[in-house]
Amino acid sequence: MNHQRIMIVTGANSGMGLATTIALAKEGCKVIMVCRSRERGATAYQGALKQSGSSDIELMHGDLGSLESTRTFARAFKAKYSHLDGLINNAGVVAIKRQTTEDGFEVQLGVNHLGHFLLTRLLLDELQRAPQGRVVVVSSGAHKVGSIYWDDPFFTQGYSFWKGYAQSKLANILFTKELARRLQGTRVTVNSLHPGAVGTSLGVNRKTGFGKSILAFLGLFFLTPEEGAQTALYLATSEEVAGISGEYFYKKKIAPVSAKAQDAQQARLLWEWSEQQVGL
């Protein structure tokens, strides 16, 4: 009997997350869509079933901006499934104005890094039970201008959305590098990627719709979500990368990262700090 791969995609209700879900389902994977909004998730779920032609898609609620919700999702997953073949950490937020998660974290670092940090840690046993578990972290070229602002990581003074976003994307790569180091000698790999400039609804204000016209204009120059999802799909499923871990990919090829993203000491410090923040 063939082993059916079980994949989790976070932020699966739109953009690249939805495109990734549909593509994985078409490849015969069982896909768990993790969505924060039950309503938007339900709409996306129906669309994914229809577009993929697969009935092997499941919608589960999980909000990476809440440690409690992230833990609840992980418990619900573990109660149903004994292993996990792929975790695609795709959910991401851009916050033009400073916002915080329910745990008091600045929202970009809170969702883009800390929520995924906790989720990945909670599911490591299931990943290790798969024939070859894979963690795929959607980062960004924005990491190159990023720093970890140790004195004030949550920008309680002088918030800049760009600094916050770049910090969160640098954190994604440092997390990838440190997790890969800790998983050496196991069957689990972890890699990060830059999807390219993808036209998604990341910066659109959900309440007012502010940013939609800008998005429509920029869409002329951007990749579609389907194009943007290609590297994540490649890292989640291709035999070519089965033995590769701790790398950063762009257009399905290993790409260079900033000097800060290669700093092993910063990666360790961030790991320890993250553990304290999420209560591990």
Distance separating alpha carbons of residues 126 and 192, to the nearest angstrom: 20
Strand 86-89 and strand 6-10: pairing? parallel
Is the CB of residue 136 less than 8 Å from the CB of residue 81?
no
Q: Is 68 exposed, middle or buried (0-12, 13-18, 19+ CB in 10 A)?
A: exposed
Residue 163 three-state SS = helix
Is the CB of residue 24 less than 8 Å from the CB of residue 18?
no
**Residue 186, Cβ neighbours under 10 Å: how many?**
13
Active site residue 234: no
- Identify the active-site residue in 165, 234, 248, 250: 165
Amino acid at 188: V
Torsion sign over Cα 262, 263, 268, 271: negative
Residue 25 three-state SS = helix
Distance separating alpha carbons of residues 93 and 56, to the nearest angstrom: 28
Torsion sign over Cα 217, 220, 226, 232: negative
Residues assigned a catalytic role: 165
